[in-house]
Structure 1
Amino acid sequence: MSFKEQFVNLYRDLAQIDIEDLASIYHQDVVFIDPVTTHHGLTAVNTYFKGLLDATESCQFEINNWHNIASNDSHQNASSAMDCSDVLEWTMKLKLSGKPNWIELAGVTLLKVVDDKILYHRDYYDLGEMVYEHIPLLKHIIKFIKKKLLS
């Protein structure tokens, strides 16, 4: 199975994985960044995912586009794994344990992969859309602000 297939299978429904499965795609020295925090090393990433997934009923990712972008560094061979960055566009469908509603969120991930292991993983998404807009009082305030910005 290719690295890409392994990644897609793992993220198909994160809530169903064994945390130890992350080692199949993440490098021991991975740096994992999202709008909430930064983690250094596979052990820290495993701990972070465990905490997230303990509160999650389902977390499904649909990879909408996967782009491979070669480095602009002219003195290295463009076919080298170190020269590559992968950019993924995705949609996440999240259902938290004990909550009735699904959260759907679009995002982008930047990956740097070395020897079929992720050395750098950075997620970009709207944290407000994911969290704040699902808190009743904040939801109304954010909708009001967005409406004002559009007028």
Structure 2
Amino acid sequence: MEVIQRFCKIYTDICKISTEDLNEIYSQNIVFIDPITTHRGLDAVKSYFSNLLEQADTCKFNIADILECAPSKCNVTHIANWTMTLTLKGSDRVITLDGTTQLGVKDDIIIYHKDYYDLGEMVYEHVPLLGFVIKKIKGRLAK
């Protein structure tokens, strides 16, 4: 099974994996970037996932597309478009979020992973007062 297939399998339901499963897809020197921070190295990514696994009741990704990229200088070889469904422990609220991931694959292992998604939609809009304000601002900007 190629690394992209292994990636899709692992991300089907993050809460059903162990952090050791990440060895199957990420290199020791992985650079993993999301809108919150950058993680450098497999141990840092495992720590990030360990924290996620402690907080999430469910975290599933429906990967709609995996697009292979033409060779370039930026090391991006694949683009994944996805929808994440997340439920935190102790909460009935389901967070659904669309996003895109740039992946860099070399020698059948992922060396680069960068996520793009709306952090406001994922986090800020779910904080009671702040969420109300952000939704009002978005509504005004959409007019």
TM-score range, shorter chain: over 0.9
Matches within 5 A, 1:1-150: 1-72=1-72, 85-150=77-142
Task: Tell whether the 8 Å contact from 1:70 to 1:83 is kept in structure 2 after alignment.
Answer: no
Task: Tell whether the 8 Å contact from 1:63 to 1:88 is kept in structure 2 after alignment.
Answer: yes
- TM-score, length of structure 2 as denominator length: 0.95
Q: Which runs of 4+ in 1 moved over 6 A?
A: none
Deviation at 1:138, TM superposition (A): 1.1
CA distance change for structure 1 residues 6 and 72 in 2, over 3 Å: closer, same or farther?
Answer: closer
Deviation at 1:56, TM superposition (A): 0.4
Cα deviation, 1:63-121, whole Å, max 9, x if unaligned, reads: 11110012146xxxxxxxx9661001000000111111100000000000011111000
Give identity over the alignment, percent. 48
Gap runs ≥5 in structure 1: 74-81
**Number of residue pairs aligned between Structure 1 and Structure 2:** 143
After superposing the two structures, state which structure 1 stretch, 28-37 or 82-91, moved more.
Answer: 82-91
Return the index of the structure with the highest Cα Rg: 1
CA distance change for structure 1 residues 129 and 84 in 2, over 3 Å: closer, same or farther?
Answer: closer
Q: Which amino acid aligns with 2:132?
A: H
- TM-score, length of structure 1 as denominator length: 0.90
Deviation at 1:139, TM superposition (A): 1.4
SS of the residue aligned with 2:65? strand
Gap runs ≥5 in structure 2: none
Q: Which amino acid aligns with 1:37?
A: T
